[in-house]
Structure 1
């Protein structure tokens, strides 16, 4: 059983998958930082700093003044319908999906440009063409 496990791990596909997962985790951190640190603040300027994460409903009874935040309601043990957090997650998903799409598109274009041959020179014919040879044969047979 140990030998089978060793053979399974030694296969190239497993190692490629492990590298892909590790690089994917690092890439996730980069994209998350890009979205939260660079893109969301710019979007906040255009939307006036709207943050939907404060939009929530307490299911059941709440104190007279309500709860100041989702975290306060959850800390108090109230059942909270946090629609704002869900909306922010959906918005962030579309932003991340757009950023990843642009990155993949750019990488694909660079990859295609690298695979394209550079200004291939046309083949230079070094000898007579097939037609020239046939004409010579015809002329030789006539003589």
Structure 2
């Protein structure tokens, strides 16, 4: 059983997943700092210095902190947009590399064989 567990834990996809989780957590900290330390203060300046997290109202004995909810929604939108931009950039780089690896051109024999194949296909119809 120990040997099976070791094989499972050391599979490539499990290790890749662990690396992804660790990098995701680090990226999350970066984005959280970007949102909390840079973007939200600027948004606060634009709306007159209002700190969303302090917005609340009292309903009976309960304190409803709707500002924290607004702050969380804005954080989510900014984080989602940041991840979108990162994935978009990654996809552009990936497709650019694929374009550079264009398939080799056909030889004259291959072109002739392709034409013959296409003619035979058209005659079957």
TM over 0.5: yes
Distance 2:64 2:42 in 1: 28
Cα RMSD for the two superposed structures: 2.7
Structure 1 regions of 5+ residues with no counterpart? 62-78, 131-143
Q: Deviations over 1:52-84 (max 9, x none)?
A: 2122223434xxxxxxxxxxxxxxxxx422111
Q: Matched residue pairs, number? A: 111
Cα offset, 1:123, TM superposition: 6.2
Residue matched to 2:41: 41
Residue matched to 2:57: 57
Residue matched to 2:118: none
Residue matched to 2:72: 89
1:101 to 84, 98, 110: 84
Cα offset, 1:28, TM superposition: 0.7
Distance 1:90 1:44 in 2: 15
Distance 1:111 1:97 in 2: 21
